Amino acid sequence: MNLDFLRLYGETRGFSLGLPQQPTILADGKRVLFLRAEPKQPSLALFAYDLETKTERVLVTPETLLGGKEGELSVEEKARRERLRLTVSGVTSFAVSDSNAWLVIPLAGRVFLYRLADGRVMAPPVQGAIDPHLSPDDRHLAYVKDGDLYVWSLADERETRLTEGASEHLTHGLAEFVAQEEMQRMRGFWWSPDASRIAYAKVDTSALERFAIADPTHPEKEPVRFRYPRAGRANAEVRLFVTSIDRSARHEVLWDRAQFPYLARVTWAKAAPLCLLVQTRAQRHEVLLAADAAGATRTLLEEKDDAWINLDRSSPLWLADGARFLWVSEKIGAYTIEVRAADGQLERTLSLPGLHELLRADHEAAYVLSADARAALQVQALPLDGSAPRLLCDEAGERTVSFCRQHALFAETIATRERYRRVIVRSAKDGREVCELPRKNLEPPEPPRLEWQTAAGMETLVIRPRTFDEKKRYPVILAVYGGPHHNHVVPMREMYLREQWLADLGYIVVAADNRGTPRKGRAYERAIAGDFSQVALDDQIAALSALAKQVPQMDLDRVGVYGWSFGGYMAALSVLRRPDVFKRAVAGAPVVDWRDYDTHYTERYLGMPSENAAGYDRSSLLTYAKDLKAPLLLIHGTADDNVYFFHTLKLSDALTRHGVAHDVLPLAGFTHMVPEPEMLARVWQAIARHFDPLLTA
């Protein structure tokens, strides 16, 4: 078993190191800023690419800012990076000021301001700053330190503390755990357009349970403690305040927090009011509110859904003049974009087959991602007057897109079935390619052998060994995720390199996107409401059966299954409930009992435990522990603060009490991710060894 490829995969972070990251086109349309690492060095530096001369230059490296010493990150910053799934160091993020004059660069608990005109660097003497943002007028820098909100004046280099009273359970200006992990709201404060005020979240987690993560290899160290909201239990109390930066005035923004406890979105756009999107705990009802100067709120619109409401990260999107805003809705069963007046009145509804995400808008068009019939994403311009959409790129693939402020250009990171990821700058008018940003990443030694198919009404993928012999029959491994808001079958070749390594050992590896996954419409996604255990598992088995008819070399008497996170849950569920189909399983970081997972995610799909006890019981792996009849390997990082290690311990304990043999591989000190090359190789070695008996059965 050759582990060299797996080590290389880990060293290159899946061959992504060396790719441009976070491409940001400056407002003048002449330069693109991006982050990039060396091919085997997981430390990012900041570059600028000149679109006219087609040349790049380095702007900032960790060494130039810190003198080679990155420093120690705070517990809070480490947690933010975990929420962002960051496995690299160095300059991991930057922000361009509204004027495009300054860059804000957080690094090792400090903040650096880089002036684009001449390269001047300012470094406020602040340690432990979190989430820094420059004011719209470039005069003040706001950040959170030790749980309180501060501003620093660029003119007189003076720091002002705006809030007081932070404690172990009370913070000002930081997003709470479920906002970061589940709502895609990483921010906890927002500048007013005139730069005179800041809206900030005041978060009280005192009612939450305290979870401790200890380092089992160093029992002498104190555990790190987090406040965690388990399903059906207390949530953080979140309030919204507005303060002037001279501390002369402060008021609370008021809404019915008893009915709408979740603060899901806050926007404060130019020429628009302070807006907040609030949700009921059940996430079946949400209200978009506008706040006035005294903190009173009025309703702009409401959304309701019998199952749950998906949060759109771009809504509301205000147009530059503040006269209208765009809103994404699923109320008709598919995504549409509503053009609404400033008072919330509906003016027009825009529809597009497969509409997936609103990206940006100007006074003429909304720019969106849409999914084609095979769930690949395309960029389209959707005119606000209701006329025909314009396809800006006919290359279907998996992509993320960012527009420059003037909307004339956009940068897309795109992978397709035929090509690995690259970053392309295009014209927003017609999709014409302007350039490809320079990349230095290594490419895999050999491309994977991938076949995208439709089976049993699902998008599926088949990965054969490179030495495939059509006269032989092969054991099958199902690579599964199966959970909400994630597609496991996408046109992205590099995503399946480890699966190809596994297939080359002598398996046919397959994957399927069952009901409950996105890009197939409201009904397809919401088929799992109230129960994680039945529909997804039935669909995966149906996909296996259908694929075996298309690929007769698949031996369905020798089927293994593996997955991570929700996929780990699905892998364990599969072997527990259907040992007639699945003969061996590897479950990485599985959620074992959904009563132990967080509120905003779990209750969205299963409701409250007190109201759907049967659904929680059916969805719990503990319910079926006594039924395990096939080999199961559990793998889990002991420092995981997303799916805590106690999930695996609970299942292992239940299996042991029922006298059921199983294996557990604890990863000491690792979180929900395993980026370290040697450990990654050893984990996949353990996975392969667990499935070895399928080869000789």
Q: Which of 140, 407, 488, 672 is catalytic?
A: 672
- The verdict on whether 565 is a catalytic residue reads yes
Give the pLDDT of residue 67.
77
**From the centroid of its chain, how far is CA 169?**
25
DSSP H helical ranges for 121-235: 177-181
- pTM for this prediction: 0.93
Which of 565, 574, 619, 652 is an active site residue?
565
What's the pLDDT at 89?
A: 86
**Bridge-based pairing state of the strands 632-637 and 663-667:** parallel
Is 394 part of the annotated catalytic residue set? no
Q: Which residues of the chain have pLDDT under 70?
A: 68-86, 407
Active site residue 672: yes
252 phi and psi angles, rounded to 5 deg:
-95, 140
pLDDT in tens, 551-563: 999 999 999 999 9
Q: Whats the size of the chain, residue-wise? A: 697
pLDDT at 508: 98
Q: What's the DSSP call for residue 648?
A: H
pLDDT at 70: 56
Query: CB-hemisphere CA count at 13 Å for 565?
Result: 13
Q: Distance between CA 253 and CA 293 in Å, rounded?
A: 9
Select which of 640, 641, 647, 652 is catalytic: 640
Q: How far apart are CA 597 and CA 164, in angstroms?
A: 32
Hey, how many other C-beta atoms are within 10 angstroms of the C-beta on 372?
13
Angle between helices 677-696 and 4-11 (to 10 degrees): 140
Distances 440 to 15, 140, 212, 491, 497 between C-alpha atoms, Å: 10, 37, 41, 22, 19
Please report the pLDDT score of residue 85 as a whole number.
64
- pLDDT for residue 111: 94
Give the pLDDT confidence of 615-645 residue by residue, as tens digits: 999 999 999 999 999 999 999 999 999 999 9
Map out the domains of the chain with their CATH numbers.
Answer: 450-617+689-696 (3.40.50.1820)
